[in-house]
Amino acid sequence: MSVMVPSTTPAQSAGHEALESALFQLDRAAERLGLDDGLRTMLATPRRSLTVSVPVRRDDGNMDVVQGYRVQHNVTRGPAKGGIRFHPATDIDEVTALAMWMTWKCALVGVPYGGAKGGVTVDPAQYTTQELERLTRRYVSEILPLIGPDKDIPAPDVGTNEQTMAWIMDTYSVSAGYAVPGVVTGKPMTLGGSLGRAAATSRGVQIAALAALGRAPEGVTVAVQGFGKVGAGAAQFLADAGCKVVAISDVTGGVYAADGLDVAALRAWVAETGMVRGYRDADELGLDELLELDVDVLVPAALEGAITEANAPRVRARLIVEGANGPTTPEADRILAANGTVIVPDILANAGGVIVSYLEWVQNLQAFSWTESQIERKLRDMMESAYGEVKSVAAERDLTLREAAHVIGVGRVAEAHRMRGLYP
């Protein structure tokens, strides 16, 4: 009998490209900040990186073995923080890139965390709920030495949700011998989740988009790529603000309505059928077409590498607000900047998630809770103040918003390294 060994990262995987983008952005920021080579190398290298094999018992009695990862890119400013992704194409390079972006994001918005990310190379759609529970619990057991409310606090990302977080909280708590809600954020309310967390990333995207628009949102046309936790909420909040959301896609296809989509009706359709495709009150739209529509605002809220040098010259939106992490490659960035397109970068635009995760963790550590309006106010204040800082650094130094955001984020982490000094 031959044994299938899970493959390792292919040289040209999407993850490899994401890591190259993240390293390029770091390099440019380090250059602008005048960081020395030693510190640059330290910031380019994850602090801890764990790869685990996760055996999963399928419902039919067979066993699968999938690969899992947890990368702590930086823990200088506080415990590591970052989501866990279940996706068939995730690999160690992608998880490392996402962990690095978390480090800069946390520093940029001023939450006292380092950056981390986790991933399991699996298609959750191919697993039953029971199988996903066993997979999650075994993955968590394998990374258990790394996580904890003072060490590393996971959260939801692509392919995971509040149920996944509940299993993580339970697995960790059983091992500790008492309930530890602060080990994970994005939990259900009954387990110490925070009001406003589920919508936080999308709410943050709305706040960033409206700040960058610089005009009344009424009638502003919007296209949203990805209709998951981030994209669906962002579409809803932008429509609520008065924008006309004309196009939406998920992995199955896109839909278009020139007069604006009824986002709530589309959400109900997706809840019923599991996909955007087939929604009756709109025209069909190709996945690539959505990115090139003549709209005012484009919100990529799916995966990395959506806008590349191949399609960037055809992107017509004047404003891009990155709900996803790493949706625009550095080559595309250059083309878009030359065309005058403004990009609110991922580490700013989607920071609402980690901001309210931080608020959830603070509530857990203190065993109290804030009201939804208190959470919303804090989120808005932190998003608007981060946006204001990025905007003024961009203006002062003649940088794009992404370049400015990286100068601020990387600069704060570098300063923390300097102040702590090098042990021993």
CB 356 within 8 Å of CB 200: yes
Residue 311 CB burial class (10 angstroms; 0-12, 13-18, ≥19): middle
Q: Which of 74, 136, 236, 249 binds ligand NAD (CB under 6 A)?
A: 249
Residue 215 to residues 212, 280, 308, 348: CA-CA distances in angstroms?
9, 32, 28, 20
Residues 6+ apart with CB under 8 A from 25: 330, 402, 406
Query: Residue 225 interacts with ligand NAD (CB under 6 A)?
Result: yes
Sorted by sequence, the CB contacts under 8 Å of residue 374 that are 6+ apart come out as: none
Nearer to ligand NAD, 241 or 287 (CB): 287
Nearer to ligand NAD, 192 or 231 (CB): 231
Smallest gap from residue 421 Cβ to ligand NAD (A): 32
Stretch in the footprint of ligand NAD (CB under 6 A) among 11-19, 56-64, 153-161, 397-405: 153-161
**CB-based contacts of 11: which residues, under 8 Å, 6+ apart?**
none
Query: Which residue intervals of 241-371 are DSSP H helices?
Result: 263-273, 287-291, 330-338, 346-349, 352-366
Sheet holding 221-225, edge to edge: 283-285, 253-256, 244-250, 221-225, 297-300, 319-321, 342-344
Instruction: Determine, following the binding rule CB under 6 A, whether residue 251 of this chain makes contact with ligand NAD.
Output: yes
Strands (E), 151-231: 152-156, 221-225
Active site residue 117: yes
Judged by CB under 6 A, the residue of 92, 132, 153, 230 near ligand NAD is 230
Cβ–Cβ < 8 Å for 90, 165: no
- List the interface residues with ligand NAD, window 310-339 (CB under 6 A): 323-325
According to the binding rule CB under 6 A, does residue 350 interact with ligand NAD?
yes
Q: Which is nearer to ligand NAD, 57 or 378 (CB)?
A: 378
Q: Centre a 10 Å sphere on the Cβ of residue 376 and count the other Cβ atoms it contains.
A: 18
Considering the candidates 105, 117, 187, 229, report the single residue annotated as catalytic: 117
Distance of alpha carbon 308 from alpha carbon 51, whole angstroms: 29
Of 67, 96, 171, 201, the one binding ligand NAD (CB under 6 A) is 201
**Residue type present at position 119:** G
Choose between 26 and 303: whose C-beta lies nearer to ligand NAD: 303
Least distance in Å: CB of 38 to ligand NAD? 30
Please state the length of the chain: 424
Q: Is 100 helix (H, G, I), strand (E, B) or coil?
A: helix
By CB under 6 A, name the one of 158, 168, 386, 407 that touches ligand NAD: 158
Cβ 238 to ligand NAD, closest distance in Å?
15
181 binds ligand NAD (CB under 6 A): no
Of 251 and 337, nearer to ligand NAD (C-beta) is: 251
Stretch that binds ligand NAD, among 23-31, 65-73, 247-255, 392-400 (CB under 6 A): 247-255
Q: Which residues 264-303 are close enough to bind ligand NAD by CB under 6 A?
A: 287, 301-303
Here's the x/- map for ligand NAD, 50-79, by CB under 6 A: it reads as: ------------------------------
The Cα 412–Cα 43 span in angstroms is 12
156 binds ligand NAD (CB under 6 A): yes
Is 169 near ligand NAD (CB under 6 A)?
no
CA distance 335 to 339: 6
In Å, what is the CA distance from 357 to each residue of 144, 156, 159, 380?
20, 10, 18, 14
Residue 227 binding ligand NAD, by CB under 6 A: yes
d(C-alpha 117, C-alpha 91), whole Å: 11
Select from 5-13, 57-65, 228-236, 362-370 the region that touches ligand NAD (CB under 6 A): 228-236
Q: Which range in 24-32, 210-218, 244-252, 365-373 contacts ligand NAD by CB under 6 A?
A: 244-252
Closest distance of CB 26 from ligand NAD, Å: 18
Site membership for ligand NAD, residue 229 (CB under 6 A): yes
Give the residue with the Cβ less far from ligand NAD, 35 or 332: 332
Nearest alpha-carbon partner for 44 in 35, 52, 53: 35
Does residue 88 have a cis bond before it (omega within 30 degrees)? no
Nearer to ligand NAD, 13 or 325 (CB): 325
Near ligand NAD by CB under 6 A: residue from 15, 353, 409, 411? 353
Pairwise CA distance, residues 162 & 141, whole Å? 18
CB of 36 to ligand NAD, least distance (A): 31
Number of amino acids touching ligand NAD (CB under 6 A): 24
Q: Which residues are catalytic?
A: 117
Q: Which residues bind ligand NAD (CB under 6 A)?
A: 156-159, 201, 225-231, 249-251, 287, 301-303, 323-325, 350, 353
